[in-house]
Structure 1
């Protein structure tokens, strides 16, 4: 992380007279005003009051520092808590880069003066709502400071930082250390008072703070060293925690994004689009995921899930469940069976590993979709005419509960319709319940479709962007995963399907059937290649099959051939020797086809290949 320098200088407060006592302000109106004593105590009661004021100031200041979540907020809290109550200006130096966790410290290391443009004590002349930063001006009576300082082992500054305890600026140790910190040609101007306070985290020194007072202010007292030590300790520990949290959140966020698909597949008969938005900065690590998995028969599995919780553990569990879902999809199991096995896997991961998931399989040939749900928000189907429908899918129990049966439903998926799968971060927030959000989303989809007319579907990418606009400002405190599928389907006239008995005559019959289909589609110039490849694949299938072999041709932007049999053994390409009589079938398929593959099914396998169609 590249750190920007930060410094803070407040306006000069009025010097307190010996007989005056300033009542501390409440935290709601600013930093508590607790001026240091102007002279020696007159009586025990006055001393007790001053000590009480000092304790109240320390308590209010540490609470202000503790409010910060990130690095800048913590430094901001320190500056606002101390200027102008405790000092007229403060300089905050932090290691660059800041060490994280158990990283081994290096020597020498660099301290960088931090500046934050958001920081300013609001004065009477400040514009409402603005927070510009007054930087240290060399022309003023407050000293300028170098932005970078190298701390070398054995130097005066290194010795002060190693001692951890704050020191007065006029002490021998500080007089030697401050020029190293502020710059060789810079020192505390005559008459100014300073305290140099090391900032030590849990394991090492991470920086230093310099508190400054003008000559017209009372001098720092010995008890002020204790105040500076308290402020420095709370600030350093807060910075340590902020850096650790930031690193953990960054790692978990990167872990989650890495586990999400880089790009979506382009299966036949359906168009896909997706969106993923992390949660707000206060809870940005979650376990939402989506996936689209091509299946045999030109089908596609659509998955969206949400692991409960926001932590690195949630992101790790999400990755395991997503991998398990991909493996189960490769076995071509029914949706309810996929959820059942995911439920078993979640129970193996732990007793409290729960997630919601929706698993759907779309078949572009039959124009049908099969959906099973495990406690997830229901999908919404946007019809071509503009009607948006919340699909009635049995909700089921979340994954990880155990002992629950999941139920699948089969629904029509007409051409031109759009299916929207999403996680609850899109429809649920602190301002609305999930069902109110689902109804608002349905209305938004219907309104978007009306703008494009009854005969056209809105562009898929634009539709996803428009769906995200349903979120109002500040209305998102959870991850959002969104997967949209536009159903194009495959017309029945573009499908040819046959059953072949597992006998020696099957390859010849497959060649004749394929030739007739290509002639009907006007693709005669592909006949030689298709007949050769179909013959080789069917021959391999008949060799091991015991039940009828299936042959299917699909005409889309490519010509796809699928041969299925009941043998689970997948074919493997090998290089045949010159004396071998066989073993060249898959070699020919690999050379002539644009793509090919083999997928194991619950009832056997499917071997497929694709050829480009003429322009």
Structure 2
């Protein structure tokens, strides 16, 4: 049995830990930590222990304070202290035990305990890494499966969206005298439609009728409102009601069915034989006419009308023109001109852009105009652009 001050210090610690029932690996780490501190101290430190409430308190008083970096390097960190007074609190998890009186034998047992604990921790880490690898493999497989499922859903949604588009946005009617083209873009790229819709068809007398509607709001509700207006006007037009009366009649018809519905409406009639053009405007952006000679103008009624759901809805006055061969008429919703939040600037830019693109293929004009007008988008909105050019 060794009687050096450090050996006696270790012996006191072991007896206190054994009496309190401290686990062997905690005792080994504590003895090693105190030994390291004592070996570097100027004189032997003072040791005091106290057990109670299911734990053992060990306090070591040193002649010189120990820096935080040195304390962090200890195998068992103290729970409290000011550098010179360090305290450990160890849980008592076993009944009282005995330890070898011989310091060398006790130290050897403690080193074996720490080695065994280190081996156990290493094995736990191996098992944890193996479990983590299996988990990662499972997560990756699940991720791949979800991606495949999402792709199938996206493809299914694309089919549904195309069917909705076909149902809600009819293809241009075939009229030899006119070339017709359209560009449609909802404000929400994930939605197939918005509150801007159009309808075009040939009346029994051979004239072409076009309805362009911009319902207030976005999403499914605005789509339903816009569809309600286009269907009401189609029914009234096919019944033979005059163009100047269609907006007012539609407003009266829908007032009791959809009292919250508000929509701007633009109606156009085209005579394939003469090229005569008639426009009824209910609070809608003004169409643009680009002549074959290069002139551009906004088609403005002398008296402004109101849209469906607005106060005093109906047509103020009709706009009448005759389209010559090569003349281009542009109908659109405000999403085309208000992307920069300035309606007047948008109209001016549209007139200039329409002049530049008028000579191009009619099918490409709506998309080209939308791309140029939306070079800067400060306000995203549903956009419809319809191009009508009289053939030779």
Per the TM alignment, residue 397 of structure 1 is displaced from its structure 2 partner at its CA by: 1.6
**Contact residue 290 and residue 305 of structure 1 kept, 8 A:** yes
Give the deviation of 1:339 after TM superposition.
0.9
Is residue 322 of structure 2 the alignment partner of residue 412 of structure 1?
yes
Quote the residue 2:382 is aligned against. 479
Structure 2: how far apart are the matches of 1:257 and 1:481? 13
2:371 corresponds to 1:469: yes
**Residue by residue, what CA displacement relative to the aligned partner does 1:480-504 show, whole Å, maximum 9, x if unpaired?**
1121111238xxxxxxxxxxxxxxx
How far off is 1:433 after superposition?
1.6
Pairwise CA distance, 1:363: 1.3
Structure 2 residue 310 is matched with structure 1 residue 401: yes
| Cα deviations by residue, 1:528-571 (Å, 9 ceiling, x for unpaired) | xxxxxxxxxxxxxxxxxxxxxxxxxxxxxxxxxxxxxxxxxxxx
| Contact 2:175–2:272, Cα closer than 8 Å, also in 1 | no
Counterpart mapping for 1:205-220 below 5 A: none
Q: In the alignment, is residue 299 of structure 1 matched against residue 207 of structure 2?
A: yes
Report deviation, 1:380. 0.4
Residue 315 of structure 1: how far off its partner (Å): 1.2
User: 1:479: how far off?
Assistant: 1.0
Verify the 8 A CA contact 2:170 2:199 in the aligned structure 1: no
Question: Over residues 513-538 of structure 1, what are the superposed CA-to-partner deviations in whole Å (9 max), with x where a residue is unaligned?
Answer: xxxxxxxxxxxxxxxxxxxxxxxxxx
Quote the residue 2:175 is aligned against.
267
Q: 8 Å contact 1:306–1:318 — kept in the other structure?
A: yes
Check if 1:144 corresponds to 2:53: no
1:459 to 343, 361, 366: 361
Per the TM alignment, residue 399 of structure 1 is displaced from its structure 2 partner at its CA by 1.0
Given the superposition, is the C-alpha separation of residues 383 and 140 from structure 1 closer, same or farther in structure 2, using an over 3 Å criterion?
same
Rate the CA distance shift 1:480–1:257 in 2: closer, same or farther, 3 A: same
Residue 41 of structure 1 and its aligned partner are, at CA, apart by: 8.5
Measure the CA separation in 2 of the matches of 1:479 and 1:440. 18
Residues 1:41 and 1:376: Cα distance change in structure 2 (over 3 Å):
farther
Is 1:423 the counterpart of 2:333? The answer is: yes
Secondary structure in structure 1 of the residue aligned to 2:292: coil
User: What is the Cα deviation at residue 386 of structure 1?
Assistant: 1.8
| C-alpha separation in 2, matches of 1:401 and 1:329 | 21
2: distance between equivalents of 1:401 and 1:467?
A: 30
Q: Secondary structure at the match of 1:298?
A: coil
Q: Is 1:315 the equivalent of 2:217? A: no
- Say if 2:271 is the partner of 1:363: yes
Question: Following the alignment from structure 2 to structure 1, what is the Cα–Cα distance between the partners of residues 250 and 79?
Answer: 73
Contact conserved, 1:425 with 1:479, CA < 8 A, in 2?
Answer: yes
Change (3 A) 1:252 1:285: farther
The Cα of 1:469 is off from its aligned counterpart by: 1.9
Greater Cα shift, 311-320 or 468-477: 468-477
8 Å Cα contact 2:341-2:378 kept in structure 1 = no
Q: Counterpart in 2 of 1:441?
A: 350
What residue number does 2:197 align with?
A: 289
Check whether the contact 1:255–1:316 (CA below 8 A) recurs between aligned residues.
no
Q: 1:313/1:40 Cα in 2 relative to 1: closer, same or farther (>3 Å)?
A: farther
For 1:158-557, what aligned pairs fall within 5 Å after superposition?
Answer: 257-281=165-189, 286-393=194-301, 394-406=303-315, 407-429=317-339, 431-449=340-358, 457-470=359-372, 471-475=374-378, 477-488=380-391
Distance 2:172 2:289 in 1: 20
Compute the displacement of 1:267 (Å).
Answer: 2.0
Structure 2: how far apart are the matches of 1:383 and 1:399? 31
Query: Which protein shows a greater Rg?
Result: 2
3-state SS of the aligned residue for 2:380? coil
Distance 1:255 1:341 in 2: 31
The answer to whether the 8 A contact 2:282-2:313 is kept is no
Q: Which one has the bigger helix percentage?
A: 2
Q: Name 1:188's counterpart in structure 2.
A: none
Structure-2 separation of matches of 1:442 and 1:424 = 14
Number of residue pairs matched by the alignment: 257
C-alpha distance in 1 between matches for 2:199 and 2:249: 17
1:282 Cα deviation (Å)? 8.1
Going from structure 1 to structure 2, the CA distance change for 1:143 and 1:291 (only over 3 Å counts) comes to closer
Conserved? CA contact 1:284–1:478, under 8 Å: no
* TM-score normalised according to structure 2 size: 0.57
Report which structure shows greater RCO (CA 8 Å, sep ≥6): 2
Contact 2:245–2:314 under 8 Å retained in 1: no
